[in-house]
């Protein structure tokens, strides 16, 4: 039985969160398929990688540690990943839908002629019968993602080519350490075997890394504002509430497009995917493109003047009224009742 592979993305030796999320999902898929989960880490001076990937369920670690593999460059990474995949023939290969994953996964899939589904929101194992030929397939990877502007959820299968490849955006899937960590078998990759001189033609002369000032992804509480907030000035009350609750401010695309706040705060299909403990949606209608980015929040409070607003279907608590009146009351109440 061929195995499930996860590409482990590293920057400065640190593993990207999305790779750990994919290991958690990969473990679930491998258990369902009765095969192994293999992590493929490329970079330089990668320390304790076996312990890290073992905590998230990897049975095997392929370790390609070489100065030519950090920082990331398309050609050497493609050469190593394709080389390993050609030898090991995984049935499933998962990548983060990060700038690196979005660059690398299509290269790998076109080299291997395997096909690729980008930006999946769910991955499940299931059977499939081809409507034309009547042929049945067992245990395919259902690659599930919004399509046609988020108006439908498409399930994509790849019966004929391997690996079945998918990218998944950061934050979409849960990241969970095993209670009993695995002790993966470490297989050191002979990088020189796969990387040719011509793969090294691109030289990195200088790098400048801009720290992202706003990071709503890991906030435990998000106070999000939509077009219904009415203005940039009214967003100030959302910041005040978020500060009081130890959270961050999020926004709908309509609010971002109207200039009420920064794009980095946009939640949804073309923004960030979040899963906070508490999500307070203020003046947000709840279109599917928005809810795709927040429907995993533990508790949702919706504040909307429209009692029929679609966001109310996702909400644990609905407050029907103007956010411009409700939010200041929440701030006042919280200040009065917290020490």
Interface residues with ligand FAD (CB under 6 A) are 149-150, 226-228, 252-255, 266-271, 283-285, 287, 289-290, 293, 303-306, 309, 322-324
Determine how many CB atoms are found less than 10 A away from the CB of residue 318.
18
Region class of 62: left (phi > 0), else alpha (psi between -120 and 50), else beta:
beta
Q: In this complex, which beta carbon is closest to ligand FAD, that of residue 143 or of residue 269?
A: 269
Of 96 and 283, CB closest to ligand FAD: 283
87, 62 contact by CB (below 8 A): no
CB-based burial label for 153 (10 Å; 0-12, 13-18, 19+): middle
Judge whether 288 and 146 are in contact, CB under 8 Å: yes
Q: Which is nearer to ligand FAD, 13 or 230 (CB)?
A: 230
Q: How far is the CB of 178 from ligand FAD (least distance, A)?
A: 33
Quick one: angle between helices 99-112 and 74-88, nearest 10?
A: 50
CB of 66 to ligand FAD, least distance (A): 38
For the bound state, the minimum distance from the C-beta of residue 327 to ligand FAD, rounded and expressed in Å, comes to 9
Q: How far is the CB of 279 from ligand FAD (least distance, A)?
A: 13
Q: Indicate the residue among 45 and 316 with the shorter CB distance to ligand FAD.
A: 316
Residues 6+ apart with CB under 8 A from 192: none
Residue 95 CB, nearest approach to ligand FAD (Å):
21
From residue 15, give the alpha-carbon distance in Å to each of 10, 19, 134, 176, 278: 4, 7, 43, 15, 27
Q: Which is nearer to ligand FAD, 158 or 287 (CB)?
A: 287
Distance in Å, CB of 306 to ligand FAD, minimum: 4
Residue placing its CB nearer to ligand FAD in the complex, 148 or 246:
148
CB closer to ligand FAD out of 43 and 228 = 228
> CA angle, corner 4, sides to 159 and 120, nearest 5?
65
Q: CB–CB of 38/62 below 8 Å?
A: yes
Closest distance between ligand FAD and the C-beta of residue 117, in Å? 17
**How is residue 268 written in tokens?**
């949804």
């Amino acid at each position: 039985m061929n195995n499930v592979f996860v590409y482990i993305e590293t920057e400065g030796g640190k593993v990207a969160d999305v790779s750990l999320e994919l290991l958690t999902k990969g473990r679930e898929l491998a258990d369902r398929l009765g095969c192994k989960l293999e992590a493929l880490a490329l970079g330089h001076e990668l320390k304790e990688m076996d312990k890290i990937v073992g905590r998230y369920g990897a049975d095997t670690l392929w370790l390609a540690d070489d100065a030519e593999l950090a920082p990331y460059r398309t050609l050497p990474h493609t050469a190593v990943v394709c080389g390993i995949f050609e030898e090991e023939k995984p049935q499933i290969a998962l990548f983060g839908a990060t700038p690196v994953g979005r660059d690398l996964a299509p290269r790998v899939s076109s080299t291997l002629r395997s096909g690729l589904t980008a930006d999946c929101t769910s991955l499940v194992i299931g059977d499939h019968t081809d409507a034309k030929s009547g042929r049945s397939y067992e245990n395919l990877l259902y690659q599930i993602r919004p399509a046609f502007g988020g108006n439908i959820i498409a399930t994509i299968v790849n019966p004929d080519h391997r690996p079945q490849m998918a990218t998944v955006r950061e934050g979409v899937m849960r990241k969970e350490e095993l209670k009993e960590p695995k002790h993966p078998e470490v297989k050191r990759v002979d990088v020189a075997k796969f990387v040719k001189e011509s793969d090294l033609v691109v030289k990195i002369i200088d790098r400048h890394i801009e720290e992202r000032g706003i990071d709503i992804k890991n906030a435990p509480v998000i106070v999000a504002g939509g077009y219904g907030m009415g203005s940039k000035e009214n967003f100030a009350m959302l910041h005040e509430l978020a500060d009081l609750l130890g959270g961050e401010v999020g926004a709908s695309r309509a609010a971002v497009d109207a200039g009420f706040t920064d794009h980095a705060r946009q939640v949804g299909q073309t923004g960030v995917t979040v899963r906070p403990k508490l999500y307070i949606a203020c003046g947000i209608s709840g279109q599917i493109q928005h809810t795709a980015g927040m429907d995993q929040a533990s508790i949702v409070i919706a504040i909307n003047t429209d009692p029929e607003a679609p966001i109310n279907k996702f909400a644990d608590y609905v407050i029907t009224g103007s956010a411009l009146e409700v939010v200041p009351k929440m701030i006042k109440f919280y200040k009065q009742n917290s020490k």
